[in-house]
Structure 1
Amino acid sequence: MDLDSIECVSSSDGIDEDEIHLHHHQSEFSSTKPRNGGTNHNNSTVPSAIAPATSVHELLECPVCTNSMYPPIHQCHNGHTLCSTCKTRVHNRCPTCRQELGDIRCLALEKVAESLELPCKFYSLGCPEIFPYYSKLKHETLCDFRPYTCPYAGSECSVVGDIPFLVAHLRDDHKVDMHTGCTFNHRYVKSNPREVENATWMLTVFHCFGQYFCLHFEAFQIGTAPVYMGFLRFMGDENEARNYSYSLEVGGNGRKLIWEGMPRSVRDSHRKVRDSHDGLIIQRSMALFFSGGDRKELKLRITGRIWKEQQNPDARVSIPNMCS
């Protein structure tokens, strides 16, 4: 959303899914907490690679995409193999000898694959797990060490990495505002509030409780009704996001709207969160009423705070932990 003016004050109080080609994006990752030592080219500590028997694993490496091959594994008349995905990419021509591939399956190599155990493809990001050849695919779709997608919306950003890397990426590449503290006070001004088509997200990153949170604000339409929406996302997994809560408040002319909920993990796309309406939604008529004046200009002030829920072991109840 191309807002004309933004003012921010922060106070300090899946199996069938395509594989992520880790070797193609290695330079985009900074490592998670190290487990077994070792160093990558980003000068970040990563676990040493788990080294399987190279001869067999080299046989299972597709010469085109260099990923491990899964059935159906194809071969040409000369015995050169490649994965089924790349078979269509090379227009049915062997990438090694250029002979026509045909429809020959390499059943022997498929049988060999069934007997192997392999490390998770995210081992360089910290995952220590080893799985039977076919089981690791299911694990990798849910692996806690799998990289996150850039949470910046309104663009087709395909950058992936761990949280520290993405925070730096948001700051340096997307020029996102960074704030320290668990309270916020945003003022949104837009001269033509009727423009909601092709709106992009406004994003601010907050750092508190040793974690990072993304505050989003967007204009879109529910049916034919234009609305504004604000919500918070947690830069981490869903199970960690449940440890936090937040509130948003907007008002004017003696009225106000208040939203309170839990932040959604950035594992959920911004569109998924938006379409679930899980946040503070302001109808345009109400937003203009809050703005005052002649109702031709949007002037919204949204305040909010983030807190951590702490368990009281004696009372067995949740006690909000406010940052100062």
Structure 2
Amino acid sequence: MDFDNIECVSSSDGLDEDEIHHHNLQHHHLHQFASPKPHNANNNSNGNANVVGGPTVIAPATSVHELLECPVCTNSMYPPIHQCHNGHTLCSTCKTRVQNRCPTCRQELGDIRCLALEKVAESLELPCKYYNLGCPEIFPYYSKLKHEAICNFRPYNCPYAGSECSVVGDIPFLVAHLRDDHKVDMHIGCTFNHRYVKSNPREVENATWMLTVFHCFGQYFCLHFEAFQLGMAPVYMAFLRFMGDEAEARNYSYSLEVGGNGRKLIWEGTPRSVRDSHRKVRDSHDGLIIQRNMALFFSGGDRKELKLRVTGRIWKEQQSPETGVCIPNLCS
């Protein structure tokens, strides 16, 4: 699919210069950050955890933690932990990858469990693996994974749609990445007006564009526009995603409007977090969906050319101190 054969003419009220991470997230992914610390993160200055009785608490750089690190994938090992006849250990996932040969001494692997190391793991408490990104939490060894899958300090995937981008980072880093590497348009303000022009819309059966990032209320939002098949019907869909976590996304609302020839469609909703991939949002139909025939009707003329104008606005829901009722806070 050629993503350049649609013209987008954009305007706004100002201009500025696409799963949960499991424990097999490789360490080198985190090294793609522009800086070691995200904005507004409350980092522990020395990265150490204090012991206040109970199980041993260790920082990730200690020798015990290194013993629990798989030499193949470098992730923390969880039972069953395997070892060779010489005592070298590795995780159960990697054992299936190394063709029954120890990655350290190349001796044949049997089915030997390292029960002693598993017992050591049970006695430990460790910081969240995102401690250097600001997470202050400490957990028993076997509780870490559950927390880390939902940790608010875990990095975000690049939200760019239309390509599989593996870059991860905090929001300020990803905004710069979208601007500099994906050449996404950046706009300041909470209202927008996009015009989509396509000379032969029937050529576009399954395409994804991410056209704009908006900055308002001190936050960033991604506007998406897609063409795909909904059952047997070709449709277009526009939706907004919030560059942050789901709980904070609920503080905002947005509207989208498209029309022509005396008709219009209006959508109002809450932006989805970029924690949800753009494909997940699209497949949930959580946005403004326009049937192709309706889109061509809106376009006017001989209905052979797509000329679709989508306008919208973003607002923040605020609670009135007098009545407790939520009222929209519109940007100027």
Please give the TM-score of this superposition, normalised by the length of structure 1: 0.92
Task: Give the alignment partner of residue 21 of structure 1, picking from 13, 18, 26.
Answer: 26
Instruction: Please name the residue that 2:47 is paired with.
Output: 48
- Residues 81-230 of structure 1: matches in 2 within 5 Å? 81-230=89-238
1:248-286 C-alpha deviation (Å, 9 max, x unpaired):
111111111111111111111111111111111111001
1:108-131 C-alpha deviation (Å, 9 max, x unpaired):
111110110011011111101110
- Residues 27-42 of structure 1: matches in 2 within 5 Å? 27-28=32-33, 30=35, 31-32=37-38, 33-36=40-43, 38=45
User: 1:35 Cα deviation (Å)?
Assistant: 1.9
CA 1:241–1:173: 2 relative to 1, 3 Å: same
CA distance in 2, matches of 1:309, 1:246: 10
Residue range with higher mean Cα deviation, 185-194 or 26-35: 26-35
User: 1:63 Cα deviation (Å)?
Assistant: 1.5
User: 1:209 Cα deviation (Å)?
Assistant: 0.3
One-letter code of the match for 1:168? A
CA distance in 2, matches of 1:142, 1:113: 22
One-letter code of the match for 1:48? G
Contact 1:94 1:101 in 2 (8 A): yes
Instruction: Please name the residue that 1:8 is paired with.
Output: 10
Instruction: Please name the residue that 1:43 is paired with.
Output: none
CA distance in 1, matches of 2:197, 2:20: 46
Task: Give the alignment partner of residue 318 of structure 1, picking from 294, 310, 326.
Answer: 326
- Residues 65-76 of structure 1: matches in 2 within 5 Å? 65-76=73-84
Instruction: Please name the residue that 2:274 is paired with.
Output: 266
1:225-245 C-alpha deviation (Å, 9 max, x unpaired):
000110110000111011111
One-letter code of the match for 1:284? R
CA 1:114–1:67: 2 relative to 1, 3 Å: same
CA distance in 2, matches of 1:156, 1:260: 29
1:155-185 C-alpha deviation (Å, 9 max, x unpaired):
1111111101110111111100000000000
Instruction: Please name the residue that 1:254 is paired with.
Output: 262
CA distance in 2, matches of 1:36, 1:214: 28
CA distance in 2, matches of 1:149, 1:29: 14
CA distance in 2, matches of 1:257, 1:36: 47
1:196-254 C-alpha deviation (Å, 9 max, x unpaired):
33412232100000000000011011111000110110000111011111111111111
CA distance in 2, matches of 1:233, 1:16: 19
Contact 2:33 2:170 in 1 (8 A): no
CA RMSD in angstroms, aligned pairs only: 2.0
CA 1:3–1:161: 2 relative to 1, 3 Å: same
Contact 1:118 1:136 in 2 (8 A): yes
Q: Which runs of 5+ in 2 are unaligned?
A: 50-57
CA distance in 1, matches of 2:192, 2:129: 39
User: 1:49 Cα deviation (Å)?
Assistant: 5.5
Q: Which runs of 5+ in 1 are unaligned?
A: 39-46
User: 1:48 Cα deviation (Å)?
Assistant: 3.2
1:71-99 C-alpha deviation (Å, 9 max, x unpaired):
11110001111111221222111111110
Count of residue pairs brought into register by the alignment = 316
Contact 2:83 2:114 in 1 (8 A): yes
Identity between Structure 1 and Structure 2 (%): 82
CA 1:157–1:107: 2 relative to 1, 3 Å: same
Please give the TM-score of this superposition, normalised by the length of structure 2: 0.90
SS of 1:201 mapped into structure 2: strand
CA distance in 2, matches of 1:126, 1:18: 18
User: 1:3 Cα deviation (Å)?
Assistant: 3.9
One-letter code of the match for 1:25? L
User: 1:23 Cα deviation (Å)?
Assistant: 4.3
Task: Give the alignment partner of residue 300 of structure 2, picking from 264, 270, 292.
Answer: 292
Task: Give the alignment partner of residue 64 of structure 1, picking from 72, 78, 102.
Answer: 72
